[in-house]
Structure 1
């Protein structure tokens, strides 16, 4: 491996053909000594991977970057990457994951640690498994201490419980057509809002009553059956092509992560007009999950439809 400086750049580049791999990338450095240090480190890493395989060399930050690049959500990943980014995947076990959760979210409830630490970590890990960088493992998630499974008198946050479909219909009726279509779609599929926003017309097959979620929170694609009611009005959206759902202005919904999502304004307006305060996009997901249980769908099939990372989400 050599370091060279191209005529059209001040930066030093790494160039080589090593073990059948061709490398030509910038070091991002103009100092030869620093570039040489990068060359030595890169060459050693490639040699180590060639001898011991990628499972011995891939770090969590590399796996996380690949996961996001492949379409995975980067929500909550920044803090995880800062905490364990340089750690090799094969050195991370249950103890290391639990320690990261305790240090990153020392005062948070188990549900918060589960959502903001364990779920994104497991999504990255599953992606790494698919690339041959990590082994299959069963990760334990945090649970409430015994004796805490009691009815709480505090008001629940919207989106944490199901509602009946009459109440859902009353809420959706208070929305403008574009967001109303999205919410109706969520109440009949159980998709996460960000998954619905990412759907392309080519992902939907109305004749087969089926849609494909190609990127999801868990990093695994899945198929979802379409209710006949959706097939009655999805046709024009599919024929239009491009993004399946668009805003009232005809633009794609933004994948907003921390501000309530692309439906925030529509949800607030519907709450004012309908007086219903306990409905949010995630209410639809809980409602579909409950409906599948009542319909007698096997828990494993239900988890596949909803894209649950573990069966503990199904029990919840």
Structure 2
């Protein structure tokens, strides 16, 4: 069953009780490959007798999760020399039902010994839970609550001993309006949408017109940061903008040249030149794309919105039941987002009359020409 392909890794190839298999062992060591062959044959035999839940590995669950539309980031990726890396590689061969909380905690310490709780949550616990929850929905694992590192509560503004990076704190909507209205129309529309949805920048940049239902005040994010889809309410203030921009189809938000913004891991970096120009023109230095998310979260708290509703809007909710209704508009969420007041200067922004027409224009100043040269 073990087969060598070229001078690289060994492969497993053959049939066990009618089930064919052809996959890399991930090793060029013949003894390690033979051990994996024995384990794989035993697992496939047990699966044919006892069922999927007793034999599925974390790697298989990961492959199924990604095939269903989940993100492979931090789970299974290839490094520069083509070798696999990620959580699924470290848990290669582990049966899903044998993984315990202590195993994940130990792995977090090994892979991220100096990282803070936010990093461990983003790069290990969140992707692991996304795979596990997908497997549970398929009946391959039991429904389970996993403990995760405690990070700073979302929407709070607790001072810390370290210096803050721009964007890590909320601001007032009046302050934000003065900054955003100093931008050219295209980036101004992106920032406006961020401040009245609470979406992550990368989610907004990747948004497709087909996933926006203006009439129902609802949009769908197919792939969120956690790999799970979610629904987002549309503020009434944003409706004319979305209706106009969605007419061209494809990506909703584009540059002034009509090109989609690149999907970057450093989400928000696509607006660097526009942000720099707005800072020079407005004199405001403490706003970045992520300021919007913190501001929405804080304003919802101030407005007395129930924490569960707030978490649903921002995509913090982990309840599987809520994800089943991704495409179904939820009135409590729509009411909550509409509770955010719109400053007069924002409500009267010039491009709001015809967003699609204005999206190709630049602000009328020498600074705009300088920004264009920098971008």
TM-score relative to the length of structure 2: 0.67
Q: Which moved more, 1:136-145 or 1:202-211?
A: 136-145
Q: Secondary structure at the match of 1:262?
A: helix
Which secondary structure does the structure 1 equivalent of 2:241 belong to?
coil
Alignment of 1:199-214 (within 5 A): 199-214=207-222
Unmatched 5+ residue regions in structure 2?
4-10, 76-84, 320-375
Partner of 1:8: none
Is structure 2 residue 236 aligned with structure 1 residue 228? yes
8 Å contact from structure 1 (residues 126, 218) kept in 2: no
Count of residue pairs the alignment pairs up? 297
SS at match of 1:223: strand
Identify the match of residue 101 of structure 2 among 89, 94, 116: 94
User: How far did residue 295 of structure 1 move?
Assistant: 2.0
- Alignment check: 8 A CA contact 1:127 1:219 kept: no
Q: For 1:122, which of 103, 117, 129 is the aligned residue?
A: 129
Deviation string, structure 1 residues 183-207 (Cα, Å, up to 9, x no partner): 2111111111222223211211111
User: Per-residue deviation at 1:26?
Assistant: 7.9
Aligned to 1:104: 111
Rounded to whole Å, the distance in 1 between the matches of 2:291 and 2:50 is: 47
* Structure 1 spans left out of the alignment, 5+ residues: 4-11, 312-316
Distance 2:200 2:168 in 1: 13
CA 1:44–1:263 in structure 2 vs 1: closer, same or farther (change >3 Å)?
farther
Deviates more, 1:226-235 or 1:174-183: 174-183
Aligned mates of 1:116, 1:24 — CA distance in 2: 30
Q: 1:42 Cα shift?
A: 6.2
**1:247 equivalent among 242, 255, 267:** 255
**Alpha-carbon distance in 2 for matches of 1:91, 1:66:** 18
- Alpha-carbon distance change, 249 to 46 in structure 1, aligned in 2, over 3 angstroms: farther
Q: Give the TM-score, by structure 1 length.
A: 0.78
Q: 1:142 aligns with which of 149, 157, 165?
A: 149
Identify the residue that residue 316 of structure 2 maps to in structure 1. Answer: 308
With over 3 angstroms needed to count, the CA separation of the structure-2 counterparts of 1:155 and 1:179, relative to structure 1, is same
Change (3 A) 1:60 1:156: same
Per-residue CA shift, 1:161-189, capped at 9, x if unaligned?
21111222222223332222122111111
Name the counterpart of 1:172. 180
CA distance 1:171–1:224, change in 2 (3 Å): same
Q: What's 2:328 paired with?
A: none
| Structure 1 residues 54-105: Cα deviation after superposition (integer angstroms, max 9, x where no partner) | 2223322333333334333344334423432432221222111111111112
Please give the alpha-carbon distance, in whole angstroms, between the structure 2 residues aligned to 1:102 and 1:27: 28
In structure 2, relative to structure 1, the CA distance for the partners of 1:213 and 1:157 (3 Å cut) is same
Three-state SS of the structure 2 residue aligned to 1:233 is: helix
User: Retained in 2: the 8 A contact 1:245–1:253?
Assistant: yes
